[in-house]
Amino acid sequence: MPLDYNSIFNHCLDLAEEAYPFTLRNPMVGCSIYNKKNEWISEGVHKIYGQAHAEINALNSIKNNEELEGATIFVSLEPCAHQGLTPSCAQTLAQLPIGKLVYLTKDPNPLVSGRGEKILKKSGIKVEHYKNQILENKNYLLNHKFFKSVVSDGAYVHLKVALSKDRFINQDGATVQISSLEASQEMHKNRAGCEAVLIGVNTLLKDNPKLNVRHPGFSSQNKVVVLDPSLKSLEIINNSNLLKVREAKNTYIFYDKALKSKYSSILKKSDVRWISVSFSKDKAFDLHNLLRILKQNLDIHSVFVEGGYETHKKFIEAGLYERVDIIDSQTQLLKSGLKWDLKSKLKEATLTKRLKVGTDIFNSHFY
């Protein structure tokens, strides 16, 4: 029976998705291996950031290398050519007696793209880049953060907002839960998929949120970034819920550099990471610069921007977002609060995904 590439790659991508959100800044990749008689013999996934890649996990469950004689390996991303946290997959595969490797998406990193393919071809292995737009799109959505991050100098922005049926993000004088339990669980999974949550100082002052990951199976020790130009958080930060659920060193508060000398002795007494940055001409943070600082100086490669309104507005006006999730409640009516009128200001998305989660609709926009 000839091999059905479409269904094999669909399966590879489904396998890969099981690793969400554990691969963090690495891609989610699936691999499937067939022997020379076209019989399935193994499969593997890249499960956790820093650990073995999909091809290696698939190879590890094959006991006898003779089974690989003339085998075909399917992998959803071009095998990596460089030694990172793990050895180069292309180099490992090049040592084996496999006949052919078929991959779905080229390595998006311009510095290494095509090099994995070259290594394999040089060792006599046939290589095919399988082209199918539907599967490419599926991989693009799955690995959007990775594909965008490798070509960006700043942290990836995943912006999220939960809206009541009447488009409010909060209610005057009350703390309300807008999303259904199921949508909340999905949101916590997405929180875990980013390296930090980002909020504006008003959300900290009004809601005193924890912003940790509350989902069975995922780590709750995430990082938090607060945009607080005038250091309003100083009065409450030590007793805040943010610090009840995480170490102070995992809390980053950005403030206006002009205040540095006045407050430096007070700030030194706290283990919170106080980051001073200069304001741009419009008396706000230069968000492009801030995202660069997050990635390049603080090793935070992605942020989950939760809001509130003013914070969203600044990111949206600057056009600095790669993914926007709008969670629409179908049931909750709030009647007062801050109205989220920013949808019309969003750029046109490259791809969108609509999902019913509990009683809510998740509208994801990918740029």
Ligand X SMILES: NC(=O)c1ccc[n+]([C@@H]2O[C@H](COP(=O)([O-])OP(=O)(O)OC[C@H]3O[C@@H](n4cnc5c(N)ncnc54)[C@H](OP(=O)(O)O)[C@@H]3O)[C@@H](O)[C@H]2O)c1
Catalytic residues: 55
Q: One symbol per residue from 222 to 261: x for binding ligand X (CB under 6 A), - otherwise; what is it?
A: -----x-xx-x-----------------------------
Q: How far is CA 254 from CA 81, 194, 206, 230, 313, in A?
A: 38, 19, 18, 9, 18
Residue with smaller CB distance to ligand X, 82 or 339: 339
Asked if 201 is part of the footprint of ligand X (rule: CB under 6 A), the reply reads: yes
Q: How far is the CB of 255 from ligand X (least distance, A)?
A: 9
Asked if 169 is part of the footprint of ligand X (rule: CB under 6 A), the reply reads: yes
Q: Which stretch binds ligand X (CB under 6 A): 46-54, 131-139, 196-204, 210-218?
A: 196-204
Give, as ranges, the residues between 283 and 342 that touch ligand X (CB under 6 A): 284-285, 287, 306-311, 314, 338
Residue with smaller CB distance to ligand X, 232 or 292: 232
Q: Among 118, 129, 206, 262, which residue interacts with ligand X (rule: CB under 6 A)?
A: 206
Residue with smaller CB distance to ligand X, 206 or 257: 206
Give, as ranges, the residues between 98 and 157 that touch ligand X (CB under 6 A): none
Dihedral angle at the C-alpha atoms of 103, 106, 22, 212, nearest 10 degrees? -150
Q: Quote the tokens at residue 32.
A: 């499937």
Q: Among 19, 89, 142, 178, which residue interacts with ligand X (rule: CB under 6 A)?
A: 178
Q: Which stretch binds ligand X (CB under 6 A): 23-31, 63-71, 194-202, 234-242?
A: 194-202
Contacts of 327 (CB under 8 A, 6+ apart): 160, 161, 162, 163, 178, 179, 183, 187, 357, 360, 361, 362, 363
Asked if 184 is part of the footprint of ligand X (rule: CB under 6 A), the reply reads: no
What is the three-class DSSP state of 59? helix
As beta bridge partners, residue 304 has 158, 197
- Measured CA to CA, the distance from residue 111 to residue 57 in angstroms comes to 25
Residue with smaller CB distance to ligand X, 126 or 262: 262
Residue with smaller CB distance to ligand X, 43 or 360: 360
Give the residue ranges of DSSP H helices in the chain.
5-17, 54-60, 89-94, 115-122, 133-142, 144-149, 181-193, 201-207, 241-245, 260-268, 287-292, 309-317
Where does this chain bind ligand X (CB under 6 A)?
161-162, 169-170, 178, 199-203, 206-207, 227, 229-230, 232, 284-285, 287, 306-311, 314, 338
